[in-house]
Amino acid sequence: MTTPDSRGQDRHLRSLLQIIPTWLPAFIISFAGACWIGRPEGWHPWGFATQSNVFPFTDLTGRLVNLNQLFEFGNIYKYFDYLSFSNPPSAIPLFLPLHYLSLDRTYFLWALFSLLSLALLSHTMCRLVFGIHRARIAVISSVLLIVGILFFPPIYECLDLGQTGIIIAALVVYDYVDDGPTQGLLLGVATALKIYPWLFIVVLALQRKWSAVVRSLAVILGLNLVTFIFWRESFTYYVTRIFLGGGEVHHLLSGAKVHANSSLLTPLTIGPQRPFFMDHTFLLGG
């Protein structure tokens, strides 16, 4: 005799068995790609497109140095002009586990997580946006992974530098299409890593998805509270000197970052209007 609970368990089992063949190829490619990308030395996949083999993970290595500064000086933003931790204070607890890993494990796990995030992005777009049948998603996602790693600059540059862009995009997209009781949680994590996903919180508010908005804000406030309790000097320095004091804007208006960054402020920091905004940084939030 079957009960409602047993029928529910059977449905979950069948759903899991359907998901495994879809995700298995992408996971295998992600694991193999992480083994290749995660090496600090040797030829890397993007070498085919760039014809160069520079040392990978320069940004990620910089974040590890920032974590060392946090434990040594108590302020992760101490050398912001030289080696900037360009994340809000709420990102500190999220980066903290990397401090306790070896470099090799950090590079491998970062590459693996980035590639799995890329696979999640392609799965979500294929299934929900283009309405592609589940049986074809595995093939299409696997092809997108390989092509992206080898030839698509926004992807292999993000992997090369060890940036958070792919991970944040996966968190935002998957959370946005999720209408379940957990919607908003991943968006909160993404906004805690980088400020700009707050735009999607505004979209949720315009859609009157108040529960999702509350969950996002709760995650952001919770991570900021943890930082304020354990790393108060970093928190206050960011608020007073970088966010309100214009440190982030000056950082974006200096050196090669004027032309080589993906900030939302980029249209305002290039062209003939640049001198005006350099003298009036408060207009950009400084």
Which pLDDT tens digit goes with each residue over 73-93? 999 988 876 667 889 999 999
SS3 206: helix
Taking only the tens place, the pLDDT of each residue in 194-221 is: 988 999 999 999 999 999 999 999 999 9
Q: How far is residue 130's CA from residue 3's CA, in Å, rounded to a whole number?
A: 37
Q: How many CB atoms lie within 10 A of CB 243?
A: 17
Q: How many CB atoms lie within 10 A of CB 210?
A: 11
DSSP assignment string, 135-173? HHHHHHHHHHHHHHHHH-HHHHHHHHHT-SHHHHHHHHH
Confidence at residue 273, expressed as pLDDT on a 0 to 100 scale: 46
DSSP category for residue 33: H
DSSP category for residue 239: I
- Calculate helix-pair angle for 165-176, 103-124, nearest 10 degrees: 40
- Fill in the amino acid letter for 12: H
Could you give the C-alpha distances from 92 to 14, 165, 200, 230, 243, in angstroms and in order? 39, 17, 22, 10, 16
Taking only the tens place, the pLDDT of each residue in 43-69 is: 666 665 555 666 678 889 889 999 999
State both tokens at 259.
Answer: 């032309």
Taking only the tens place, the pLDDT of each residue in 7-38 is: 445 554 454 445 556 666 767 777 777 777 77
Q: How far is residue 41's CA from residue 227's CA, in Å, rounded to a whole number?
A: 35
Q: How confident is the model at residue 264 (pLDDT cuts 50, 70, 90)?
A: very low
Contact, 75 vs 179, CB < 8 A?
Answer: no
DSSP category for residue 180: S
Location of structure tokens 């059977």: 10
Q: How far is residue 51's CA from residue 57's CA, in Å, rounded to a whole number?
A: 17
Query: What is the value of pTM for the model shown?
Result: 0.77
Among the residues of the chain, which ranges form H helices? 4-37, 47-50, 58-73, 92-95, 103-124, 134-151, 153-161, 165-176, 185-193, 198-206, 210-230, 232-237, 247-252, 266-269, 274-279
Contact, 240 vs 216, CB < 8 A?
Answer: no
Taking only the tens place, the pLDDT of each residue in 142-200 is: 777 778 777 787 887 888 888 899 999 999 988 988 788 889 999 999 999 998 899 99
Give the side-chain half-sphere CA count within 13 A for 41.
0
Distance of CA 56 to the CA centre of its chain: 17
Q: How far is residue 122's CA from residue 138's CA, in Å, rounded to a whole number?
A: 10
